Amino acid sequence: MVSARVGRGAVLGAVALSLFAVPARAATAEPDTPGEASLAAPDTAGVAAALKQAVSAGAPGAMALIDDHGTTYKATLGLADRSTRRALTADDRFRIGSVTKTFSAVVLLQLADEHRLALDAPVNRYLPKLLPDDRITVRQVLSHRSGLYDYTNDMFADSVSGFEAVRNKVFTYRQLVALSLKKPRTNAPGAAYAYSNTNFVVAGMLIEKLTGQSVRTAYEDRIFKPLKLRDTFYVHPETTIPGRYARGYLTPDRAGTPLVDATVQTVSWAQSAGAIISSTRDLDTFYSALLSGRLMSAARLGEMERFGPVNSTTAYGLGLRRRALSCGVFVYGHTGIVQGYYTYAFATKDGSRSLAAVANTSNNEGVQSAMGGVLESAFCGKQGKAKG
């Protein structure tokens, strides 16, 4: 395998961009927008600049991996561990937060393929009396249109004290749903998009009820093992990340306060809404496989890709975001925020180009904005609009 250094910089460590040639994947879908069949080459210098900006804004480290028809571009910058000063590497694992939601949606859509689930059926058909409204459907849960209040709004009203209160706590799914149901619903079922972690807690309950297995087993048997995702785990309620990993640092609300090492936690407050651990390589593999049609039937993938508007640049399907970039290209995937990590994982409509990127901090708008620039450079090339 041949490698070539194509870029270098220095902020808390070197930026390394390397190119590896491996067999290309075949495209299996038509382009979603004009020009997507002939995307501009990834702007590796722009990727490096976005990661540098994220570190300058307060992230200990940041990295990205682009897979373009089987050719990979890796970029790493800064530290995986502030105590030991170990440099971040492209092989480090991390907590992916709400990117977990796509994994949960995939399992439920596979169950729909198996005629064990109807998307437009009430959730209460499968989980009797769980929800106070029989009109709330599985589709509405997976598209954030159920109206169920997001209990994390209250749980993390203060970032550090809220986190420390749940860092080692183990919740049941029903306890989390009960926290949501203490508050009025945000809208009538199906009336509007309102992002809520409660929806994907319900998704986890549906997975366990319909499969008779834990979500961990369902993820492993249906996604992790078939795709050979060797860095991807669901360890809840265990608190550690297996193998080599990047530590995650929570930025406190009060400026000038030291970062909090949030690596060790149960993530029980999220579970099927946000507790998976992975790597940039595995996330690229996952979204490429999903969008190229390897994880479910074409009909179910079509259901997943029925998008409703969120704002001027983003739409949401079933556990899947569609994001419009400045060059007119649409990309598909999910973002993830969990204490200590910001994750972006997106791919083109046919899965032929994918990107996974992470910064090992959270609660920092400057870092989050800078990481958005990685998407622009990865999919729009040099014509991408810089962020931040």
Give the active site residues: 98
Give Rg (Cα) of the chain: 20
Task: Using alpha carbons, select from 99, 55, 58 the residue that is nearest to residue 76.
Answer: 55
* Number of Cβ atoms within 10 Å of the Cβ of 385: 12
Task: Using alpha carbons, select from 292, 283, 301, 265 the residue that is nearest to residue 224.
Answer: 283
**Strands in the chain per DSSP E:** 3-5, 16-21, 61-68, 71-81, 86-87, 94-95, 249-250, 260-261, 277-278, 308-309, 314-316, 321-324, 330-338, 341-347, 353-359, 361-362
194: its two tokens:
């309102």
273 with 100: CB under 8 angstroms? yes
* Helices 197-211 and 173-181: angle between axes, nearest 10 degrees: 140
Task: Using alpha carbons, select from 230, 272, 257 the residue that is nearest to residue 100.
Answer: 272
364: its two tokens:
């920092």
Task: Using alpha carbons, select from 375, 387, 363 the residue that is nearest to residue 58.
Answer: 363
30: its two tokens:
């038509």
158: its two tokens:
């203060």
Can you say how many angstroms the Cα of residue 219 is from the centroid of all Cα atoms in its chain? 15
Q: Which residues pair with 332 in a beta bridge?
A: 322, 347
The DSSP line for 287-329 is HHHHHTTSSS-HHHHHHHT--EE-SSSEEE-SS-EEEE-TTS-
